[in-house]
Structure 1
Amino acid sequence: MSSVPPSVLRAGPAETGPPLILPPDPGPFAQFVRSQSFAGLLLFASAVLAFILANSPLAGGYEALRHLHLSVLVGDRGLDLSLEHWVNDGLMAVFFLLVGLEIKRELLIGELAQPRRAALAVAGALGGMVVPALLYAALNLGGPGLHGWGVPMATDIAFSLGILALLGSRVPVGLKIFLTALAIVDDLGAVAVIALFYTDTIQLPALLAAALVWGALLAMGRLGVRRLGMYAALGGLLWLFVLQSGLHATIAGVLLALAVPLRRAAPLAVSLPGGLVADADNERLGVHLQRAEAALERAQSPLHRLEHLLHPYVTYAILPLFAFVNAGVAVGGTTLGTVTLGVVAGLVLGKPLGVLGGAWLAVRAGLAALPSGVNWSLLVGAGMLAGIGFTVSLFVANLAFADAALLAGAKLGVLIGTLCSAALGVAWLLLQTRRSAT
C-alpha cells in the first residue's frame, strides 16, 4: 500500500471528487500565540499594565477611562453605563457563555462524562471552594469584610492552564486534564455562588420575561435550530431582561449556553485513499475547499461552532480588557487588612488543602481514582495552581464590595494570592518532576 501525503484529504466518499490540499501546519510562533501559555501571559500583561498605571502619575487618566460613560440608545430609551460596567456586566456575559458551553460539552461528551474522572474533579473543586471560603470567613468573622467570602473560591482557567502549559511535557497529560476539569467545575460553582449570594433585589416582571425568553431558547435547542444568529438575537434579549431583573447579567451567558444544542446535523465522511497527488488547478481546488468547508460546517454542532467562534474573542480581547479595567489597584493608602489576608490565605493555603482533601476523600471512598501518571505529590502542585483565582475572583470582589477600601483590599489580595500560587505551583511541580526523572 502506498503512503498518503499528510497534506492530502478527500472529503466525502472515496470514489467522488478530486483530492484536497490542506493548509500547512502553523509555525512555532503561530502555535504559541494560539496556546494557553500565550493566553495566560496576555492576561498577566494586561493586569500588570493596569497596576502600573494605577500607581503612576497617569492614575487620574486611568480612572477617568474606567469610568467613561458609553450609551446605547434606541429612541429615548437605552443603557448608559461606564466602561467598567460594560465590561463587567456585558462582555463578561460572553465569557460566561463560553464557560457554559465548555461545561455543557464536558458534562455530555468530555472528561466530566466519565464518572470516576468527574468524581475526582468535582470532589477536588468542592473542597477547593469550601476550604478557602471558610479560611476567609474565619479571618473576617464579625467584620465588614465578611461578605467577600466568595472571592478566594475561584480558579482562573486561562491563567492556571497557561502556567501549567509552560511546564510542557514535564507534567503528565493526566494532571492537565484534572486541572482543566477542576477549573470547569469550579466555574460552575462560581456561577451558582454569584446567582445565590451576590444578587440584588429581584424584579419579578423582568425575571418572568427572562424565563419566557430562556424557554424559547430551550425549545429552539430541542427542535434542533442551528442558526447561531437566532440564538444571538434571543440571547441579547435574555441578557437585557436578566440585567433588569436584579440577577447579575452574566448569568444570562450560562443560561444561553445550556440552550445551544450539541447534536450534529450531518456526519462528515473523510477518507484517506492511497496514491493521491495534490491538485494543481487553483480554481478547481478552491471549489473543492469550499465544499469541504461546507461539509465541516454541517458536521459541527451549533455548540461547537459557537465555542470556536467565541474563543479567540474571549481569550484575546474580553479577558485582557477585563484584567486591564479591574486590576488597577492603587496600593497607596491600601493596608493589608483582614480582607486582603483572608483572600491570600484562601487562595494560597485553602485551595491546595481543599483540592487535595476533596480528592483524597473521593479516592478513599472508592468513587474516583488518580489519573494515569499522576501521584499525590503532583496533585499538590495542581492544587497550588488552582489558587490562581484571577478573573473570577476579581469579578466576585466587584460584586461583594461597594466600599472602595474593602474592594481595593480584596483586589490586592487576589493579585498577591494569584502570584504566590503561580510561583509556588511551578516551583513545586518542577521539583517533583525533577525528582521523578532522577
Structure 2
Amino acid sequence: MTPQVLAERSVPRPFQQFFRTEAAGGAMLLVAAVLALAIANSPWAEAYERLWHLPISIAAAGHGLSLTLRQWINDALMAVFFLLVGLEIKRECVAGELAAPRLAALPIAAAVGGMVVPAAIFGAFTFGRPAADGWAIPMATDIAFALGTLSLVAPQAQLSAKVFLSALAIVDDLGAVVVIAFFYSQALSWSALAGVAAILMVLVGMNRAGVRRLSLYLVLGVALWWFVHESGLHATVAGVLLAMTIPTRSRINAAQFSTEVRGLVDEFDRAETGDYLVLTSKGQQEALFAIERASEGVAEPLLRLEHALHTVSAFAVMPLFALANAGVAMTVSVPDPGLAAGTILGLTIGKPVGITLAAWLVVRSGWADLPRGMSWLTLHACGWLGGIGFTMSLFVATLAFAGTPLLDAAKTAVMAGSLIAGGIAAALLRRDRLEYRPSDDAAV
C-alpha cells in the first residue's frame, strides 16, 4: 500500500467528504454559470432579468422587509454561505491547519500575498477613477471551483496540496469578510448595531452555559441577520458572527464514545430479534436510539452544523447565486479598460505571483516548511487555482458597482480571469501530476 493511500485513509471521513462535496459543488456551480450566461445572451434575456427583479416582501412583529429575488439570494442565502465560511474558519483555528503557528504560517502568508498583490495590480490600473472602488474584486478565491479543478485535473493529488489549498482559501475568505465588513457597508445605524450586540451577548452566553441545541442558535441567527441588515453592515456578515458563537465542545470525548457504543452494540446483539425487515425488539430499538444520542454527543455542534450546511451551500446556495449573478450580456463595449485589465491581471498574475512569492519568503525565512510531498511547482499550481475568483469576486463586484454600467464589465472580467487562471492551473497540474513520488519522501 502506497504512502498516498495510507495518508488518504488516515484523514477523518468528514474531511474526505468535504473535498468530495466541494468538488461536486464546483461542477454544479460551473453548470449554473454556463446556464446563466447562455440565457442572458438568448431571446429570454429580458425575462431572465425580470425574474431576478421580482419583489418579495416579508413581515413579522410589525416589521417588514422588501427585497428583490436577487437581493434575497445575495443578502440572505449568501449569509448561509458565509455562516459555513465562518464555521470553517473557526474549526481550522481551533483544531485544524491554522491551530499551530508553524502549520498556519504557510497558508496565512500565501493568502495575504494572494490578496495584497492582486489588489495592488488592480489599483495601479484604476487609480483615481470610479472603477477603483472594485479594488477587492481580484483578492478572492472560489474554494469550490479551485478544489473542483484540482479534483478533476489531478484526482490522485497529494493530500498536502488539498489541505494547503483549503487552508489558503479559508484565510482568503476571512480576508474577504473583513473587507466586506469595513469597506463595502453603508452608513451605520447605531440602534440596529445595539441589537446586533445584544443578540451576540445572548449567543455567547448560551455557548458559555453549555447550550448545544442548534435550533436555538439558528433562530437567534435569523434575528441577528435582520439587525445586521438594518445596521448598514452587509447582511452576510451575520453568518460569520453567528458562526463564531457555535460551540466547539462535545458532550463526551472520543474514548467515552467508543466505550459507550461498544457496550450498546453488545446490547443490540444480545437483544431478541425476529425475521422482520423492521426492528421489532424493544431492546434493539433502545440500543439503537442510545447509539444515536451518543453519536450526537461526541459530534460538537460546530461539526454537525458544518456537515449539514456543506450540501446546502454546494448544491443550492452557490448555484442559485451563479444563476442570479453570472448572466452577463456579452458586448464589445468596455466602459473602463483599466477595470478589465486590473481584474484579469490581478487574478492571473497577482494571485499566483503573490501566493508563490509569499510562500517562498516564509519558508526561506524558516518560519514554515513546505508540506510533505508538495513541490514548488505544485504550490505554484495552487497559486493559479487561487486565481479562480468567480463566486467571491462576483459577489464583491455586485457590492462595489451595483446599479452602474461597470458591473457587467467587472463580471465579464472576473469570468475571463478565472477561466484563464483555471486553464493555466490545469496545465501545470497535468505537468506536475501531483501524484505520490518516492523521491519526494527521500528528499524530506
- TM-score, L = length of structure 1: 0.88
CA contact (8 A) 2:18 2:310 kept: no
Return the match for 1:244 from 222, 230, 233. Answer: 230
Matching of residue 355 in structure 1 with residue 355 in structure 2: yes
Say which SS state the counterpart of residue 405 (structure 2) adopts: helix
Equivalent residue letter for 1:307: E
Matching of residue 290 in structure 1 with residue 278 in structure 2: no
Equivalent in the alignment of 2:3: none
Shift of 1:32: 12
Mapped partners of 2:103, 2:333: distance in 1: 43
Equivalent residue letter for 2:160: G
Equivalent in the alignment of 2:399: 399
Equivalent in the alignment of 2:4: none
Mapped partners of 1:250, 1:36: distance in 2: 20
Shift of 1:311: 1.6
Equivalent in the alignment of 1:17: none
Shift of 1:420: 1.1
**C-alpha spacing 1:106/1:66, structure 2 compared with 1 (3 Å):** same
Shift of 1:436: 8.9
Mapped partners of 1:258, 1:354: distance in 2: 29
Say which SS state the counterpart of residue 269 (structure 1) adopts: helix
CA deviations over 1:278-302 (Å, ceiling 9, x no partner):
7874334554333211210111111
Mapped partners of 1:228, 1:381: distance in 2: 39
CA contact (8 A) 1:39 1:162 kept: yes
Equivalent in the alignment of 1:107: 93
Equivalent in the alignment of 1:379: 379
Matching of residue 203 in structure 1 with residue 182 in structure 2: no
Mapped partners of 2:378, 2:434: distance in 1: 12
Equivalent in the alignment of 2:310: 311
Mapped partners of 1:114, 1:434: distance in 2: 26
Matching of residue 142 in structure 1 with residue 139 in structure 2: no
Equivalent in the alignment of 1:175: 161
Shift of 1:218: 1.2
Equivalent in the alignment of 1:343: 343
Mapped partners of 1:286, 1:164: distance in 2: 44
CA contact (8 A) 2:38 2:327 kept: yes
Bigger mean CA deviation after superposition, 168-177 or 252-261: 168-177
In the TM superposition, 1:36-185 aligns within 5 A as 36-74=22-60, 77-185=63-171
CA contact (8 A) 1:382 1:425 kept: yes
Mapped partners of 2:434, 2:212: distance in 1: 49
In the TM superposition, 1:207-286 aligns within 5 A as 207-267=193-253, 268-270=256-258, 281=274, 282-284=279-281, 285-286=284-285
Say which SS state the counterpart of residue 262 (structure 1) adopts: coil
Mapped partners of 1:247, 1:36: distance in 2: 28
Bigger mean CA deviation after superposition, 73-82 or 235-244: 73-82
CA contact (8 A) 2:22 2:143 kept: no
Shift of 1:214: 0.9
Unaligned runs of 5+ in 2: 1-12, 440-444
- What fraction of aligned residue pairs are identical, expressed as a percent? 48
**C-alpha spacing 1:147/1:264, structure 2 compared with 1 (3 Å):** same
Mapped partners of 2:133, 2:80: distance in 1: 26
- TM-score, L = length of structure 2: 0.87
Say which SS state the counterpart of residue 79 (structure 1) adopts: strand
CA deviations over 1:127-180 (Å, ceiling 9, x no partner):
000000000110111222001000000111111111111234542111111100
CA deviations over 1:303-328 (Å, ceiling 9, x no partner):
11111222211111001100110100
CA deviations over 1:97-145 (Å, ceiling 9, x no partner):
1100010000000111122220000000000000000001101112220
Shift of 1:74: 2.6
Equivalent in the alignment of 1:20: none
Bigger mean CA deviation after superposition, 281-290 or 402-411: 281-290
Equivalent in the alignment of 1:417: 417
Say which SS state the counterpart of residue 280 (structure 2) adopts: helix
**C-alpha spacing 1:296/1:45, structure 2 compared with 1 (3 Å):** same
**C-alpha spacing 1:33/1:356, structure 2 compared with 1 (3 Å):** closer
CA deviations over 1:180-206 (Å, ceiling 9, x no partner):
000000000000001111111111111
Say which SS state the counterpart of residue 199 (structure 1) adopts: coil
Mapped partners of 1:249, 1:149: distance in 2: 21
Q: Cα RMSD (Å) of the superposition?
A: 2.4
Shift of 1:429: 1.1
Bigger mean CA deviation after superposition, 373-382 or 289-298: 289-298
**C-alpha spacing 1:32/1:362, structure 2 compared with 1 (3 Å):** closer
CA deviations over 1:350-409 (Å, ceiling 9, x no partner):
100000011111111111110001111111100000001111111100111134320111
Equivalent residue letter for 2:166: T
CA contact (8 A) 2:156 2:435 kept: no
Shift of 1:427: 0.9
